[in-house]
Amino acid sequence: MKRYIYTFILASLLLPMLAASSSSISVKNLRLWNAPDNTRVVLDLSGRINHRISTFTNPDRIAIDLKNASVKSSSGMPHEIKNNPFIKRFRYGQYSKNVIRIVIDLNKPVRVKSFLLKPNKVYGDRLVIDLFDKYKAVATKPIQSKPKRTGKVTIAIDAGHGGEDFGASGKKKTREKKIVLSIAKELKKLIDKDPIMRSYMTRKSDYYVSLRKRTKLARKANADLFVSIHADAFRRSSARGASVYALSQRGASSETARWLANKENSADLIGGASISDREDDVASVLLDMQMDKTLEFSLSFGSQVLKEMEKIGRLHSKTVQTAGFVVLKSPDIPSVLVETGFISNPYEERKLRSSKYQKQVARAIYNGIKKFLKIEKTAFLSPSSGNR
Ligand SMILES: [Zn+2]
């Protein structure tokens, strides 16, 4: 999928009548992000806005009503949209005295989710509108105690961040979301070449996937192991080295770990997930006995990856750290999160940008998976064992 940023200017005849009044909120820019199952429309705003969305049929379209708003002529509001599964075109105009209406003409009926995002380091106030296929519900697989083991071991590769959420950035404007996707793709190549493994990527290009959805997708793909790939940033640029995390049973094991977990978990606030994404909290399931076994496997898996990471560079911490990462909370899939280095450290930023190091990291994670599968063979891979 490509990231589409429409930059053409709409020199519309409508513009003169949409001139901003001094108190109005302006729509400054519009971005589209295409994910495999949805399209995200993001409006950059000059402040918080009141909005209402209505859906119409015959022809299928949605209307976004913005109160006390104006559309800037440089907003990049696209007109005709090519090759988007949902969107045909955008139109807008003055709907009533205080309301601007943006109409999205659709190719098919949609399910709409909309929410506001607060400003962050990269963007200001935003209105996010997610369009999903109305008749294609996201199937959620129930948690199974004994999934059928057939053939290959499925490794879920989770490239952190994406889309609106850049993740950490370095002095050279290196974006974490880009680095970790490159590493994830290298890892995918190695796994797919392996006769006993297959890969599943929770994110395949530059779009955002909420933290809960990442775990859901992994479960849907029948993942046996889950590895989330990140690159870190810290306020001190001297901080460096790789670390590996597993989920902690009770909160974070150290202050740094807690700080980091907060940062990675806030991705949903930056990348954009609506409240309803969090409704199906698996917290209660965490108490399940199964979780203990999964955690044991996660720690064992993590320590193998850590040993391999040590061979290619410095470690930030010599043992597997534990923290409350949302993305590691699958009760039935051993999961680790690899912080591949500090993007905030100039030396490591340079390394993380190089395809040589990206390949080395992918190789280290892959070797860690191999070692884990070898060590835990009987316990982990046997269909008659308690966990899997
Ligand atoms: Zn990250």
* Residues, beta carbon < 5 Å, ion ligand 1: 160, 167, 230
Q: Residue range 136-147: average pLDDT? A: 54
Q: Tens digits of per-residue pLDDT, 22-70?
A: 568 999 888 889 898 899 999 999 999 999 999 999 999 999 999 998 8
Q: Please give the distance, rounded to the nearest whole angstrom, from the Cα atom of residue 263 to the centre of ligand 1.
A: 8
> Where are the domains positioned within the chain?
3-133, 153-381
Integer Cα distance of 79 and 298 in angstroms? 49
Name the pTM for this structure: 0.76
Residue 371 has pLDDT above 50, yes or no: yes
Residue 290 has pLDDT above 70, yes or no: no
Specify the fold of 153-381: Aminopeptidase (3.40.630)
Q: Evaluate whether the domain defined by 3-133 bears CATH number 3.40.50.300.
A: no
Q: Please give the distance, rounded to the nearest whole angstrom, from the Cα atom of residue 372 to the centre of ligand 1.
A: 24
Q: Please give the distance, rounded to the nearest whole angstrom, from the Cα atom of residue 231 to the centre of ligand 1.
A: 6
Residue 138 has pLDDT above 60, yes or no: no
What are the φ and ψ backbone dihedral angles of 249, each rounded to 5 degrees? -75, -40
Q: Which two tokens stand for residue 56?
A: 């119409």
Q: Please give the distance, rounded to the nearest whole angstrom, from the Cα atom of residue 230 to the centre of ligand 1.
A: 4
Strand 197-201 and strand 61-67: pairing? unpaired
Q: Please give the distance, rounded to the nearest whole angstrom, from the Cα atom of residue 264 to the centre of ligand 1.
A: 5
Cα distance from N-terminal residue to C-terminal residue, the chain: 34
Task: Check if 3-133 and 153-381 are the same fold.
Answer: no
Q: Please give the distance, rounded to the nearest whole angstrom, from the Cα atom of residue 295 to the centre of ligand 1.
A: 21
Q: Please give the distance, rounded to the nearest whole angstrom, from the Cα atom of residue 63 to the centre of ligand 1.
A: 35
Q: Tens digits of per-residue pLDDT, 226-255?
A: 999 999 888 788 889 999 999 887 644 555
